[in-house]
A and B are shown apart, each in its own frame.
Chain A
Amino acid sequence: MTTVLPNTLRNGPDGRGRFGEFGGRFVAETLMPLILELEAAYEAAKADPSFQAELDYYLKHYVGRPSALWHAERLSRELGGAKIYFKRDELNHTGAHKINNCLGQILLAKRMGKTRIIAETGAGQHGVATATVCALFGLPCTVYMGAVDVERQKPNVFRMKLLGAEVVPVSSGAGTLKDAMNDAMRDWVANVQDTFYIIGTAAGPHPYPAMVRDFQCVIGEEAKAQMLEAEGRLPDVAVAAIGGGSNAIGLFHPFLDDTSVRLIGVEAAGHGLDSNEHAASLSRGRPGVLHGNRTYLLQDDDGQILEAHSISAGLDYPGIGPEHSWLHDIGRVEYVAATDKEALAAFQLCTRTEGIIPALEPSHALAHVTKIAPKMSKDEIILMNLCGRGDKDIFSVAKHLGVEL
């Protein structure tokens, strides 16, 4: 008997860790054996039902999953078009989707017998989530953070320290997320025996992009089931913000084969796509290699990496997860951009109409929702990932609004 396999976009990556021509394992030889060991350990964990059961336990009882699906009725009315739903991953413990991935990786680290955890962080959300799971499991934790970000994200730095993490300010380069990632990699190279590197986004050398995606897919899987329960059908559009792209791939991946669902990723346009101060790697970058993977990057004519800019420190990264690069090239996901100003306006709109203070990251997704919803009919549905809460952002929002706290 022959069975015709359904045509699926969910099979990636291939054996070399590639999504089309993107992804791969571009690391120094010192790290290569570790990457291979990690891949083997992750494959074994994936095949072990007890690993998934353990992860499910923590996601339910510690993180508080499933997160709610919320019909944003007043916002929908205000925009006067499509019916808007929020997947409320800002309700997770630690206030963002980052914890989904951190739990998965730390359980894997324990399974591999690693005794020390390192991480990089931009806004500090991934750093806080990593420090949190390290406190939970009693493992020492070192977080690399750009010196500039340490300065502008003081509350998160203090949180990490309270949680017992050592925060190392990185002053090389521009002192932001990409430099923090460089230094985390350098730490890993120097401490290969005992250290596990918890990467925060769906980027880096294989198997990280696939592994982080898998741990974040809980977002899309829950949303799909919740949407079917609430509406008896799938949404017409699903929207998520993109920095490295982990919340977006987590939302999109379970919908990739549902061709009726339009998928839209929203990059940070900063001061504008033509301003040279943005973080829109897909809209304005070109393919290259950084941090272990081939993907779209902001770079100059000589292949030197450019600094990204966004009001949201969590989107402030000159690259993007390789699977997004592939989904961009094959046209399955549309990638658009929202400026700092548009995100700020959406931030305020959401707060006022729904009583939810969103993080600046999903405020970018919401900014795009405010552009498309009015043009859609009332029986059409938009699903948006509200991937983080905005408490961490009130200081920078106040500053941009000219308010002194």
Chain B
Amino acid sequence: MSRIAGVFAGLKTQGRAALIPFVEAYDPNRETSLALLRGMAENGADIIEIGMPFTDPMADGPTIQAAGRRGLLAGASLHGVLGLVEEFRRTNNHTPLVLMGYLNPILSYGVEKFCADAARLGVDGLIVVDLPTEEADLLLPDAGKNGLDVIRLVAPTTSDARLPLVLEGSSGFVYYVSITGITGTRTASAADLARDIPRIRAATSLPIAVGFGVRTPEQAAVVAQHADAAIVASALIETLQRENVDAVLRDVKALSAGVRGARQKAA
């Protein structure tokens, strides 16, 4: 069983959803990212998503765009991101790590070599934003060969008829982009989720994570009542910008409490 599947299986027995915080690699430098990864794992993160900076992040809002720029200025590269993973794994062998980014740097690295290196150094899953199912044959064989989960995005615009196609070849979990828009902007309501999540459940047995616009412990709790994981990115990046690493970890702890309390409250 992959690390990701293991985490969700464990949480199922506990009857709670997962918290997946996000770290943009090298924002604003490598040490900060490493401190965040380690600290998040100790403060309630069940899985951690690491953003691989790219010059042209088309699906991201202003917050993650700016974080990516800071990362690139600090010298981020895919080699650097994998190095970060390698160092994190020296002290943590249980928290799943998912890399999220865009295709071009991976093509430049070489898909085959990237998948092999990522898996060897401790990456568990990949989210490639601009690789829709129609183009996924570029990545799936190498990811599969190396045991990497390929996590697919599902959007409100994805029709029921299209869902099986989108989910073909996906593993780990499904990333539900809960709004039509870019990261860190609007927030889906409880009613939206109550309508949308069952639609996806009907098409897959994979856990469903909700991202884009989840900012507060209350919102994370709402997500946790409907889905299997809440992904929080922009709000944490803003906290880091405004305050510091400790403040981000404080927020992660609060978000984690929100997720943990959700189902008891609902019951």
Give A residues with C-beta under 8 Å from B. 16, 24-34, 172-173, 178-179, 182, 185-186, 189-192, 287-292, 297, 299, 301-305
Q: Are B154 and A29 in contact (CB under 8 A)?
A: yes
Residues of A within 8 A of B59 (CB): 28, 30, 186, 189
The distance from the CB of B217 to the nearest CB of chain A, in whole angstroms, is 26
**B130 x A303 contact (CB < 8 A):** no
Alpha-carbon distance A304/B26, docked complex (angstroms): 15
- Min CB distance B233 to A, Å, is 15
- When chains A and B are docked, how far (Å) is the Cα of A182 from the Cα of B134? 21
Digitize B161-183: 1 where CB-to-A-CB distance is under 8 Å, 0 elsewhere: 01000100000000001001110
Could you tell me the distance in whole angstroms from the C-beta of A157 to the nearest C-beta in chain B? 22
B58 touches A192 (CB 8 A): no
Q: Which residues of B contact A186 (CB under 8 A)?
A: 58-59, 61, 181-182
Contact size range, B: 35 or more
In contact, A29 and B108 (Cβ under 8 angstroms): no
A304 & B109 in contact (Cβ 8 Å cutoff):
no
Residue contacts A-B, CB under 8 angstroms, 6 given:
A28-B153, A29-B155, A31-B157, A34-B157, A189-B181, A190-B182
Q: In the complex where A29-B158, A289-B104, A290-B56 touch, is A190 in contact with B132 (Cβ < 8 A)?
A: no
In chain B, what residue has the closest Cβ to A16? B134
Do the beta carbons of A304 and B105 come within 8 Å of each other? yes
Please judge, given known A-B contacts A29-B166, A189-B181, A190-B185, whether A304 and B55 are in contact too, CB under 8 Å. Answer: yes
A287 to B111, CA, bound (A): 14
Among A33, A189, A303, the most chain B Cβ lie within 10 Å of the Cβ of A303
Q: How far is the CA of A151 from the CA of B133 in the complex (A)?
A: 40
In chain A, what residue has the closest Cβ to B177?
Answer: A30
Say if the beta carbon of B65 comes within 8 Å of chain A. yes
- A24's contact among B109, B135, B177, by CB below 8 Å, is which? B135
Interface centre among A173, A178, A189, A305 (most CB of B within 10 A): A189
- Contact A290–B132 (Cβ < 8 Å): no
Residues of B within 8 A of A305 (CB): 55-56, 104
Provide the residues of chain A in CB contact with B129, threshold 8 Å.
28
| A210 to B: closest C-beta gap in Å | 16
Contacts of A297 in B (CB 8 A): 104
- A301 to chain B: which residues have CB within 8 Å? 108
Which B residues are closer than 8 A to A by beta carbons? Answer: 54-59, 61-62, 65, 69, 72, 77-79, 102-109, 129-135, 152-159, 162, 166, 177, 180-182, 185
Q: What would 19 more interface pairs be, CB under 8 Å, given A28-B58, A33-B159, A299-B104?
A: A25-B134, A27-B58, A28-B132, A28-B155, A29-B132, A29-B133, A29-B177, A30-B155, A30-B156, A32-B133, A34-B157, A178-B56, A179-B56, A189-B181, A289-B107, A289-B130, A290-B56, A302-B78, A303-B104
Give CA–CA (A185, B58) in the complex, Å. 7
> Which of B54, B55, B62, B102 has the most CB atoms of chain A within a 10 A radius of its CB?
B55
Among B62, B105, B166, B185, the most chain A Cβ lie within 10 Å of the Cβ of B105
CB within 8 A of A26: which of B55, B130, B180?
Answer: B130
Contact (Cβ within 8 A) A292 B130: yes
| B residues near A290, Cβ cutoff 8 Å | 56, 104
Set of chain A residues within 8 Å of B109, measured between Cβ atoms? 302-303
Q: Which of A32, A287, A291, A303 contacts B105 (CB 8 A)?
A: A303
| A33 pairs with B106, CB closer than 8 A | no
Q: Determine how close the nearest CB of chain B comes to the CB of A35; give it in whole angstroms.
A: 9
CA distance A172 to B60 in the complex (A): 12
